Structure 1
Amino acid sequence: MKGIIAAAAMTVLGTAQVSAENIEIRRNGHSPSVAGKADNFSGHAVISPLLPPNDSTRANLGQVDFAPGSRTVWHTHPAGQLLFVTAGKGWVQEEGKARQEINPGDVVWIPATVRHWHGATATSPMSHLAMTYMVDGKNVEWQEPVTEEHYR
């Protein structure tokens, strides 16, 4: 039975190695929260790491809390990003397209190498869980800030 489950998991996950040997619980507060670096965020954002990448997932997960008016700089992800909006009201924008509002319960898929930014609206905070996928040990390529004129 264990072999059948492992084979099914390999089919779903492709070549990822799956280990069903142990359940891992990362306790709340296991990794300290940090302020978003000024090179990567405009305004006040707090990043709370939740799960580091490993050989099975090749992804990491973190909670990002944006104060009103705060946002990421333009950036891309080599293997894409999933955002799960948990609170507040935010915006996400793909380069060359209209900014879109995102709200609690929304799930946003950002494909690999798509240049974008995301953050809170000008008047509301926003929180999301961000899952990014690793390629050659890297999950993001940070670029230049989103200007105030472009943001508003």
Structure 2
Amino acid sequence: MRKLSRSATTKNPPELFTGDVWLDPIASPQEGDQRMTVALVRFAPGARTAWHSHARGQTLHVVSGIALVQSRGEVAVEVHPGETVYCPPDEEHWHGAVPDAFMEHLAMLENGDDPATTTTWAEHVTDDDYLRAHHTATGA
């Protein structure tokens, strides 16, 4: 066993995120066959990822606030603190905070065989699509 050093908080890049999003790494792949990556991700109100997919899927566990999560072609869902969502391998999705509150979630995934292709990024979620998803998920 060894204690891992703490990595600094980083702000996620605007090429992949809309709004302010910060990431605190918790676990990253170590030697051998271990592939797990875990991060605490904080989203400002209205902030969100671009559409993306993961080679081995992704699990999201909401710690605080309310998340919106949507898979391509499906209706967005609200995810509350203590709730967990799983996005299967290669399923395009996005996730972020509702418009009026911060949100934090744990993002958990396994690196793919080629770590460079673990996450495949696509286009940004437009403001109109985000607001439509929010209204659909909340019934507002």
The DSSP-based 3-state class of the residue aligned with 2:128 is: helix
Write the mapping of 1:14-93 to structure 2, written as runs, cut at 5 A. 23-26=1-4, 30-54=6-30, 55-93=32-70
Q: After alignment, is 129-138 or 112-121 more displaced?
A: 129-138
Q: 1:151 corresponds to which residue?
A: 130
Amino acid at match of 2:4: R
Q: 1:110 corresponds to which residue?
A: 87
Q: Distance in 2 between matches of 1:57 and 1:105?
A: 26
With the length of structure 2 as denominator, give the TM-score of the two structures: 0.87
With the length of structure 1 as denominator, give the TM-score of the two structures: 0.80
5+ residue gaps in structure 1? Answer: 1-22
Deviation at 1:110, TM superposition (A): 0.6
Identity of aligned residues (%): 35
Q: Name which structure has the greater RCO, CA cutoff 8 Å, separation 6+.
A: 2
Equivalent residues of 1:63, 1:127 under 8 A apart: yes
Q: 1:99 corresponds to which residue?
A: 76
Count matched residues.
128
Measured on the aligned residues, the alpha-carbon RMSD in Å equals 1.1
Amino acid at match of 2:8: P
Deviation at 1:24, TM superposition (A): 3.2
Q: Distance in 1 between matches of 2:20 and 2:59?
A: 21
Q: Distance in 2 between matches of 1:151 and 1:24?
A: 42
**Largest Rg, 1 or 2:** 1
The DSSP-based 3-state class of the residue aligned with 1:63 is: strand
Q: Distance in 2 between matches of 1:131 and 1:120?
A: 17
Deviation at 1:56, TM superposition (A): 3.7
Deviation at 1:25, TM superposition (A): 2.9
Amino acid at match of 2:85: V
| 4+ residue segments displaced more than 3 Å | none
Q: Distance in 2 between matches of 1:24 and 1:97?
A: 43
Deviation at 1:142, TM superposition (A): 1.1
Amino acid at match of 1:35: K
